[in-house]
A and B are shown apart, each in its own frame.
Chain A
Amino acid sequence: MKYISIIFILFLSCSPKKDQEKPKVAVVISTLNNPWFVVLAESAAENARKLGYDAKIFDSQNNPATEADNFENLISSGFDAILFNPTDADGSIANILKAKTAGIPVFCMDREVNVDDAATSQILSDNYSGCVEIGIEFVKALNGKGKYVEIIGLVGDNNTWARSGGFHSVVDKFPDLKMLAQQSGDFDRNKAMEVLETIMQANPDIDAVFCGNDAMAMGAYQALQSAGKADKVKVFGFDGASEVVEKIKEKKIIATGMQYPKIMAKTAAQYADEYFKGRKTFPQRVPVEVELVTATNANEY
């Protein structure tokens, strides 16, 4: 009898995951210090739960080392899929490959990594097209002439360069538009404010500021307000943050690009669900449309 009960216990402990056990979905986010990424993380987790899965959010604190630790933890904890917002276009590849080796699908959200055979799929804002439209609006607002500053996001993030690239693909064709400085504000409001304050000490006479996200646009606007130049200098952002849309309605900020983090999060969760149900082939990159928001259409958002 004693041996039978031992065998029974061993059988139970060695049996595979029970059928009724919910698959676990990890939501790994670059940073939860930015409200935009909080929306992305919570929407991803909420959609995964709605689809019947357990979901847990991991914060990488914009640090590839923390991100690597998160991946180690979630792989050893038996998570079944990862909805992933990478910290670095190159540095995050190794983490994705670790998960891939462990048989865990990874669905990137919003930020692209520099290879097309690591993630299961990458659902990304069409940053380039969005910033082409902002670039056109920028040229029109300045009548093709003036001095400007560009505050870019994190240097290691592809979105930073896709946005800057889209913007410059237009603006650089107008030789009377002179860029006085291009500096990183790390997608951070306070950093952008400090960066613009410093730039304005050397270049007090600027006509416009293009920022790689709305948090930085708000920081730039604050710096301009403190310097008494908010009415003279035109500010452009990117994200579609409600705070900036309000400023556009008040004609204090000129334009932003409306991104849809909830759509990206929902699509990533749906893809994970389809993966669990047997689908194994996904498009490697899925661009999500970005819409230009100006004073003309701000009331629609």
Chain B
Amino acid sequence: MKKSYLYTILAILLGVLLYNSVYFEKLSKRNSQKNAKFDFNTFADSLYYNGILKSTQAIEINQLLALTKVNADSAFKTYGNRLGIGESAYFMVNATGKIIEKNEGELKVITQNGTTLIIDTKYIFGNAIRDASGLVKLTDFKTNADFNKVSEALNTVIREKAIPKNLNNIINGNIISVTGAIKLKKGKTKNQILNILPIKISKSEQ
């Protein structure tokens, strides 16, 4: 009789031990918990409104183009940002000009000295704005995947909130000021299409 009590207690203890040793969880839930540790949306909001919009590092586009003609290496080093190895770099630029075409997803703008710019308001994707800003380091994030999530969240704020609001009162023929990211490739700055991913567009007082 005593033995059966002992076995029952042992079985219960073993059961409790086993129950606490393993647990099952959906992989999707586990992965989402892993990613939930860092709030990319809050980070992107703060990066955009408190960092990128307040930054004064943008260079006037025509000044940048002139500098690349004189000494591309120096211009790329001083104003460009390239993570790792490559021939191109991202720059934060500003420009003022007249809208000569307003199409779905882009504005065609001509500056006072005749430079034509395409302001792309539809395809604001990728790492151009994050990298041109120079405000986020690769080493701040443990994996490239997380580093890229910063761009995705940042682009969403700009593409879906900020720029549509900026475009509300802008029509063809307006003089506008734009600040945004541009990708330039060394040795090819002459014939490149000057495609700017905007961070801010506003009607100019000029």
Question: B127 at interface (Cβ–Cβ under 8 A)?
Answer: yes
In the complex, per-residue mask of A161-175: 1 if CB is within 8 Å of any chain B CB, else 0: 110011001100100
Q: Is there a chain A Cβ closer than 8 Å to B114's Cβ?
A: no
User: Is residue B164 contacting chain A, with contact meaning CB distance below 8 A?
Assistant: no
Inter-chain contact B126/A158, CB cutoff 8 Å: no
Residue in chain A with minimal CB distance to B141: A116
> Are A170 and B123 in contact, CB atoms less than 8 angstroms apart?
yes
Which 4 A/B pairs are nearest by Cβ-Cβ distance?
Answer: A289-B86, A287-B84, A132-B126, A286-B84
Of A135, A284, A289, the residue contacting B139 (CB under 8 A) is A284
Q: How far is the CA of A132 from the CA of B125 in the complex (A)?
A: 7
Q: Is the CB of B127 within 8 A of A129?
A: yes
* Additional A-B contacts beyond A287-B83, A288-B84 (9; CB < 8 A): A114-B143, A126-B83, A128-B145, A132-B127, A136-B123, A162-B145, A169-B126, A169-B148, A289-B86
- The size bracket of the interface on A is 20 to 34
Q: Are B152 and A285 in touch, CB under 8 angstroms?
A: no
B88 on interface, CB distance cutoff 8 Å: yes
A287 touches B85 (CB 8 A): yes
Nearest chain B CB to A138's CB is how many angstroms away? 11
Q: Which of B64-88 contact A (CB under 8 A)?
A: 82-88
The answer to whether B88 and A289 touch across the interface, beta carbons within 8 angstroms, is: yes
- The residue in chain B whose Cβ has the minimal distance to the Cβ of A127 is B144
For chain B, what secondary structure do more than half of its interface residues adopt (helix, strand, loop), or is it mixed?
loop
- Give, as a whole number of angstroms, the nearest-CB distance from B192 to chain A: 11
Q: Which parts of B84-123 form the interface with A (CB within 8 Å)?
A: 84-88, 123
- Complex alpha-carbon distance, A286 and B86, angstroms: 11
Q: Can you offer 15 A-B residue contacts whose CB atoms are under 8 A?
A: A112-B143, A114-B143, A116-B142, A123-B85, A128-B144, A132-B127, A136-B125, A162-B148, A165-B145, A166-B126, A169-B125, A169-B148, A260-B85, A285-B138, A289-B88
Q: Is the CB of B86 within 8 A of A128?
A: no
Instruction: Decide yes or no: A116 and B143 within 8 Å by CB, A135-B125, A162-B148 being known contacts.
Output: yes
Contact A267 B85 (CB under 8 A): yes
Residues 129-163 of B, flagged 1 when their CB comes within 8 A of A and 0 if not, give 00000000011001111001000100000000000
- A129-B126 contact, Cβ under 8 Å, with A114-B143, A158-B145, A287-B144: yes
